[in-house]
Amino acid sequence: MARDHNGRKQNAPHPPRRPDLTRPDTPADRRSRVSRVQQHHFHVDIPATPDELWELFWLRRALTQNGDVTIEILHPGDDIGEGLVRHCTFRVPRYLLSGGRGQSWEWLTEVTPKVSWKYNAVGKPLWSEAEGRTRLEDLGDGQTRVHFSESYRAFNPIMRVLLEKRVHDFISKDNDRLIRDSLTKGVQMMREVRAKDVTPEAP
């Protein structure tokens, strides 16, 4: 046994503990993996007021199409949109064998007019569930920052491991572009229509 400079016995240091790679998964381990979801956060600054963006978001036309995306309102909800139900179609990777087309059924809750709202969705492919939130931040001088966040989880545990992240990344990239382009163009078109409505007629 080793001794120090005064002749006292010293205990040998314990070697670092190595993880037991042969230990089987516990139920807690499995629940931890299953509970993980994909997360996406995005924001964009739009040259418009929160009032204008709120009006644009909540036009609630029966059917809206923007490129590869369609939004069909199945139920309009109440006067502020609480309880609105919609059916959406959008692009997904072609290797999912759905012709490059995905779809979701979404319902809106926790609506605070001109501030924020939440949606929950079930979609395919992949068969999945999602929860998203949109929030409008007034930056002043006619500028608004739109915050968007979403969590996404495939139902099938095998697809969750193999494809969940790839598919959600693909959908999220398209969503970010769509939000930016549709809001910018939508506000411009809304202002043009208003300008025509208030233009006085020539005598």
What are the tens digits of pLDDT across the range 131-187? 999 999 999 999 999 999 999 999 999 999 999 999 999 999 998 988 899 899 989
Is residue 30 in some structural domain? no
Q: What is the pLDDT confidence band of residue 4, given thresholds at 50, 70 and 90?
A: low
CB 132 within 8 A of CB 148: yes
Number of structural domains in the chain? 1
Place of tokens 């020539």: 202
pLDDT score, position 87 = 97
pLDDT greater at residue 183 or residue 198 = 183
pLDDT score, position 120 = 98
Is residue 15 in some structural domain? no
Is residue 143 in some structural domain? yes
pLDDT, tens only, 89-142: 999 999 999 999 999 999 999 999 999 999 999 999 999 999 999 999 999 999
pLDDT score, position 11 = 59
| CA 113/CA 110 separation, integer angstroms | 10
Is residue 28 in some structural domain? no
Residue 9 pLDDT greater than 80, yes or no: no
pLDDT score, position 8 = 62
Is residue 1 in some structural domain? no
Is residue 202 in some structural domain? no
Positive or negative: CA dihedral 123, 126, 131, 135: negative
Q: How many CB atoms lie within 10 A of CB 146?
A: 20
pTM of the entire structure?
0.76
Domain that holds residue 86: 36-196
Is residue 7 in some structural domain? no
Residue 6 pLDDT greater than 80, yes or no: no
Token reading at 36: 């993980």
- What mean pLDDT is predicted for residues 81-85? 96
Token reading at 127: 């068969």
pLDDT score, position 194 = 83
Is residue 21 in some structural domain? no
| CA 156/CA 34 separation, integer angstroms | 10
pLDDT score, position 63 = 85
Residue 15 pLDDT greater than 60, yes or no: no
The enclosing domain of 99 has a CATH number of: 3.30.530.20
pLDDT greater at residue 40 or residue 24 = 40
What DSSP line would sit under 127-145, residue for residue?
A: TEEEEEEEEEEEEETTEEE
pLDDT greater at residue 104 or residue 14 = 104
pLDDT score, position 21 = 45
pLDDT, tens only, 46-76: 999 999 999 988 877 788 888 889 999 999 9
